[in-house]
Amino acid sequence: MAWRVSSRRGLQSDRAHLRGSGARRVASPAVDEEANPRPRRPAIVAVDDEPAVLAAVARDLRRGFGEHYRILRAHSGPEALDLLRELRTRGDQVALLIADQRMPGMAGTEYLVQARQIVPDAKRVLLTAYADTEAAIAAINEVALDYYLLKPWDPPEEQLFPVVEDLLQTWESGAALEAGGLRVIGHRFSKASHDLRDFLARNRVPARWLDVERDGEARELLVVAGIDAERLPVALLEDGTVLERPTVLELAERLGVTGQPAADHYDLVIVGGGPAGLAAAVYGASEGLRTVLVEREAPGGQAGQSSRIENYLGFPMGLSGSDLARRGTDQARRLGAELLTVQDAVALRAEGAGRIVTLTGGTTLSANCVLVASGVSYNQMNAPGFAGLTGQGIYYGAAMTEARACADQHVVIIGGANSAGQAAVYFAGWAGRVTMLVRAASLTKSMSHYLIEQIAALPNVEVRTGAQAVAAEGDEQGRLRRLRIRAADGSETLEDVDACFVFIGAAPRTDWLDGVVARDERGFILAGPDAQRAGWPLARDPYLLETTVPGVFVAGDVRARSIKRVASAVGEGSMAVSLIHQYLVDG
């Protein structure tokens, strides 16, 4: 890319435009914005101390994205921080931050650390020279970097635009969730309210959450709608419909999230929308199989609740479970797969060459083959007090919808595997104090090394090995307030806690297959050689991922002896489609 020097207008120029009409147009400073008003657009803020580089960055960004975003510039980190504060004061959205690493006075990483406190939702990109690659990689964890770009890039259509477009698309999907016409009013410490919020967030339904105790708007809306506060949660739909105390299924049906099967018969029915199921949907549809996927909660499964997956190949900056789920869902639908969500499989039977899956509500799906990728669920704590406080301070899984509400609070994470470690790192960015209770003597047996190192570097995270929660106590409103914790030496303490997130063990979702396919003593499904030893009915050997029912395959965490990792689940989902092809051809 040829860097082009232009006149140095700098931050003063961009701020002058910022203070003018809210519908300003940065693409051409000479344009009269008052005469050509436009809706206010989110901002992309670029900072570099070299005028030529900054001008080139702004020019390329303006050419590729100026139609929908305002491109603002600053020549130093401190100036850019002032600009961000001004944008926040005005209530403007900031979608993307692009900063050069080598700047005098304040390096790009230092600026991005401080900028994250001002605009935490903005995507962050570091500009580096080839010699700074190591520094950029080291900064990934420090600033939660989304990408680093080597400069110069040539051509921008190949080296710059795809990267920025992907980041902006991810940002837009998150921003849309905060700006939807659907409004949900409820109590933060209410299981019913939490279930609705979690459902909307995990299914990426644009909605606004209003806490009746903190938001005056929530109380005003209740008065206007004539709704008693005792009837919460309440969902206010865009068409004016008011739903009092709706169940997740009722809300899903009103929003059209569930969907109905479009065909009477399919080549492949996939049960479970986690990484294995989504991978199978992508590969099945791409190979021409008429494919439908059924997911009981939300695409992504348990992995979709992960705050950040950092060891998945091809994503050096890591990605959240929800982002992985969104990408997989979009890809599967684009290739022609059908997705039925908030519906669960309750029975399976074989009828000749057909395989019939019965869903909640009585709907049936007929197929030539079935892939079971229903995954696992976190085990429930059986200690006193936990059951009654679930959803009211105690949560199973990461429950990202609760993260911001935990600002400056004490959060307890129970568990010692990767999912618990990812949650600890994530909540450390919001909570004042994070305590991990790990029953084992150390983290090394169950947690990846990179997570152990990250946790050790976080000053507000305390890891207590050999410790466990033995009871939970609530206050008069039924909210979690204290945990009784037993230390490795047997002593017990009663500690104030604001929220607790549980990640202990996993139970397979296979009760609906009882008496149909063979399972091991823990409920995991037997396949391949294990299925052959458990009562395989045909003369041929079962395929590697085939269960004891011919034409019914299994993939992912629900399979006996599987490796509980996202990458292996994706691999098994794609491999299952290849085996299903062989089954359909050879019988």
- pLDDT value at residue 25: 30
Do residues 68 and 62 touch, judged by C-beta distance below 8 A? Answer: no
The DSSP call for residue 304 is G
Residue 438 is which amino acid? V
Q: 488 is written with which tokens?
A: 């490795």
pLDDT per residue over 153-202, tens digit each? 778 888 889 999 999 988 987 776 566 578 999 988 888 998 898 888 88
pLDDT per residue over 286-334, tens digit each? 999 999 999 998 888 888 888 788 888 888 878 888 889 989 999 999 9
- The predicted model scores a pTM of 0.79
Which alpha helices (DSSP H) does 303-372 contain, by range?
Answer: 321-334
pLDDT per residue over 221-271, tens digit each? 888 888 887 889 999 998 888 999 999 989 998 988 878 899 999 999 999
- pLDDT value at residue 301: 85
What span, in angstroms and rounded, lies between the C-alpha atoms of 224 and 304? 37
Concatenate the DSSP letters of all residues of 218-248 into one string: HHHHHHHHT--GGG--EEE-TTS-EEES--H
pLDDT per residue over 470-521, tens digit each? 999 999 888 999 999 999 999 999 999 999 999 998 889 999 999 999 999 9
What span, in angstroms and rounded, lies between the C-alpha atoms of 395 and 563? 25
Q: Which domains does the chain have, with CATH numbers?
A: 10-176 (3.40.50.2300), 180-255 (3.40.30.10), 265-377+507-586 (3.50.50.60), 386-504 (3.50.50.60)
Q: 253 is written with which tokens?
A: 């049906």
Among residues of the chain, what percentage have pLDDT more than 90? 58
pLDDT per residue over 387-414, tens digit each? 999 999 999 887 777 887 888 999 999 9
- pLDDT value at residue 491: 96
How far lies 482's CA from each of 19, 360, 399, 461, in Å? 49, 38, 19, 18
Q: 576 is written with which tokens?
A: 């299952």
Q: 428 is written with which tokens?
A: 């450390």
Choose between 256 and 32: higher pLDDT.
256
- pLDDT value at residue 131: 64
Sequence-ordered strand ranges (E) for 380-535: 394-396, 410-414, 433-438, 461-465, 468-474, 480-486, 492-496, 499-502, 506-508
- pLDDT value at residue 98: 95
- pLDDT value at residue 28: 31
How much of the chain is in helix, strand and coil states, percent to nearest 5? 35, 25, 40
Do residues 163 and 363 touch, judged by C-beta distance below 8 A? Answer: no
Mean predicted lDDT score pLDDT of the chain:
87
Paired sense of beta strands 43-47 and 94-100, if any: parallel
- pLDDT value at residue 537: 96
**pLDDT(140) > 60:** yes
- pLDDT value at residue 178: 61
What span, in angstroms and rounded, lies between the C-alpha atoms of 460 and 462? 7
pLDDT per residue over 308-317, tens digit each? 888 888 888 7
3-state SS assignment for residue 77:
helix
Query: For residue 360, how many C-alpha atoms fall within 13 Å in the half-sphere facing its CB?
Result: 12
Q: Tell me which long-range contacts 307-314 makes (C-beta under 8 A, separation of at least 24).
A: 307/398, 307/400, 307/422, 307/423, 307/425, 307/426, 307/427, 308/422, 308/425, 308/426, 309/422, 309/566, 310/450, 310/451, 311/448, 311/450, 311/567, 312/566, 312/567, 313/567
The CA radius of gyration of the chain, in Å to the nearest whole number, is: 26
